[in-house]
Amino acid sequence: MSIQKNDSISLTITGMTAEGAGVGRYEGMAIFVPCSAPGDQLIARIIKRSKTYAVGKIEQILTPSPDRIVPDCPQFFRCGGCEFRHLRYEAELRLKEQRVCDAISRIGGFSPALVQPILGAEAPDRYRNKAQIPIGCQKDGSLCMGFYANHSHRIVDCPDCRLQPGVFTTIQNLFRAWFEKYHISIYEEVSGKGCLRHLYLRYAERTGEIMVCLVAASMPEHCDVLCEMLHAEVPEIVSILLNYNPDKTNVVLGKRFETLWGRDQIEDLLCGLRFSIAPASFYQVNHAQTQRLYQAAAAEAALPKDGLLLDLYCGTGTIGLTIAKDAGRLIGVEIVESAVENAQQNARRNGILNAEFLCMDATKAAARLAREGLQPTVVTIDPPRKGCTPEVVSAITAMQPERIVYVSCDPATLARDLKQFAALGYPPMRLTPVDMFPRTANVETVCLLSKAQTISL
């Protein structure tokens, strides 16, 4: 009997997808069930059917997985912010480590023995130092702030998100009080009318400084009152900004910022260095795990005193500067002009005089530097989720570095790229997964590639 939409079926969950949904098989067909856990025996109702797979929704859990727990957030089943809040954290780490093992063996063709134990977080809650909170209206006209439901632009109201520090909840409550007093209009995506769009928050964990940025289509009335309320109740706030975004787009931030109160940026300490964080700057959202990630990358780089580090996709320079601060010379490459300016400022702020940054596409920069005969000791790469282009891989290997340190946010594209590197003489020597985003399906990996075959596993 073929499965049809609205059928209810008995299913055992045997694995997880990269997006965090449970997967089981029924009559040979893969069935994906969100919010399920490996080991669950359940009844699922089919809500989508294609030729090769189906999607189900839990109707009843017959026998729960031993790893299943009661979610500690009342919005978990509606909100798209977390995927794993129904699992024990130890099980989540096990799944993420296995995901890296599966990717490098199935896609890359490498031994999963190369994968080291995952670096889990000591604090899997309250770790996010940045929040982009959409603003909308409930059916009764009241304010709605929270997260978008999965695969939609429907806002799920979330007064207190457990991924965010408690001070963000305090700021949201102050914003709600201001809105209830003045009833500023809320932007409507369909019509393009209205004012308020997002509340954008950033927190520097080590210095305690907080930035509040109100994203709006126009200047809201009574912003002076909001500023007074915020810095009076939350003294850690040192920057209050307005971002203008009048365009009909789902991009959160517009191009123009105006400082309403205080400074236009905040500062934080990371791996012993001081970094400036502008509203649009890239800065990792989990401070504690970022330090572990960068320390792992620095250990794999092992840059000598006279070594040259080439840092591709360098962003604001955080990885390169933390590795090259005490040794060698740094050349960073980044295509975003404002990020390059931030990287240069960060180098000067920390008295690092051996660093230079190029505003170029990574593919073109790597090819040009290879043609110029640059011979870096170490190359670090932290590409976007789509990974490296074949041209970047070829150019890096043509420079004949001693080591390559690849920081990846997607195990699948990492495995694909490692296969290309290996074909050009740089096989992976060691991979260390890092749980940068607990309670979500994402996992980062630090990978060492070396032409030498003498590194112990």
The pLDDT value given to residue 149: 86
In whole angstroms, how far apart are CA 65 and each of 24, 44, 87?
13, 15, 9
Rounded to an integer, the average pLDDT of 161-186 is 96
Percentage above 70 pLDDT, the chain: 98
Rounded to an integer, the average pLDDT of 58-80 is 95
**Are 25 and 50 in contact, with CB atoms under 8 Å apart?**
no
59 φ, ψ to 5°? Answer: -100, -40
**Are 312 and 376 in contact, with CB atoms under 8 Å apart?**
no
The pLDDT value given to residue 301: 96
**Are 397 and 403 in contact, with CB atoms under 8 Å apart?**
no
The pLDDT value given to residue 348: 94
* pLDDT range class, residue 391, cuts 50, 70, 90: very high
The pLDDT value given to residue 282: 84
Q: Is the pLDDT of residue 1 over 80?
A: no
Q: Is the pLDDT of residue 140 over 90?
A: no
Rounded to an integer, the average pLDDT of 194-221 is 97
| Token duo for residue 311 | 């840092």
313 is in an annotated binding site: yes
**Lowest-confidence segment of 240-249, 274-283, 351-360 by average pLDDT:** 274-283
For residues 218 and 437, what is the distance between their CA atoms, to the nearest angstrom?
Answer: 34
Q: Is the pLDDT of residue 114 over 60?
A: yes
For residues 86 and 72, what is the distance between their CA atoms, to the nearest angstrom?
Answer: 8
Q: Is the pLDDT of residue 128 over 90?
A: yes
40 is in an annotated binding site: no
Rounded to an integer, the average pLDDT of 25-35 is 95
Query: What count of other Cβ atoms lies within 10 Å of the Cβ of residue 267?
Result: 15
| Token duo for residue 188 | 């409507």
334 is in an annotated binding site: yes
In whole angstroms, how far apart are CA 445 and each of 45, 104, 116, 405?
36, 11, 10, 10
| Token duo for residue 373 | 């005969």
**Are 342 and 277 in contact, with CB atoms under 8 Å apart?**
no
Q: Is the pLDDT of residue 408 over 60?
A: yes
| Token duo for residue 378 | 């170490």
Query: What count of other Cβ atoms lies within 10 Å of the Cβ of residue 367?
Result: 17
The pLDDT value given to residue 326: 76
| Token duo for residue 244 | 């203008």
For residues 4 and 8, what is the distance between their CA atoms, to the nearest angstrom?
Answer: 9
**Are 321 and 348 in contact, with CB atoms under 8 Å apart?**
no
The pLDDT value given to residue 451: 87
pLDDT digits 0-9 by tens, 256-271: 999 999 999 999 999 9
**Lowest-confidence segment of 63-67, 131-135, 370-374, 434-438 by average pLDDT:** 370-374
The pLDDT value given to residue 139: 82
The pLDDT value given to residue 163: 96
Q: Which amino acid appears at position 131 of this protein?
A: A
| Token duo for residue 33 | 């069930």
| Token duo for residue 279 | 């509203």
Q: Is 73 a catalytic residue?
A: no
DSSP conformation class of 58: E
The pLDDT value given to residue 210: 98
Helix, strand or coil, per DSSP, at residue 335 = coil
382 is in an annotated binding site: yes
**Are 24 and 33 in contact, with CB atoms under 8 Å apart?**
yes
Active-site residue among 137, 195, 359, 409? 409
The pLDDT value given to residue 456: 41
The pLDDT value given to residue 80: 83
Q: Which residues pair with 201 in a beta bridge?
A: 131, 212
The pLDDT value given to residue 452: 59
Q: Which residues pair with 232 in a beta bridge?
A: none
* Nearest alpha carbon to residue 128 among 99, 161, 152: 161
For residues 248 and 187, what is the distance between their CA atoms, to the nearest angstrom?
Answer: 10
Q: What is the mean pLDDT of the chain?
A: 94
- Could you tell me the end-to-end alpha-carbon distance of the chain, in angstroms, rounded to an integer? 50
For residues 280 and 258, what is the distance between their CA atoms, to the nearest angstrom?
Answer: 13
For residues 113 and 106, what is the distance between their CA atoms, to the nearest angstrom?
Answer: 13
| Token duo for residue 256 | 């123009």
The pLDDT value given to residue 19: 92
The pLDDT value given to residue 10: 96
Q: Is the pLDDT of residue 455 over 50?
A: no
Q: Is the pLDDT of residue 33 over 80?
A: yes
- Give the relative orientation of helices 166-182 and 223-233 as an angle to the nearest 10 degrees: 150
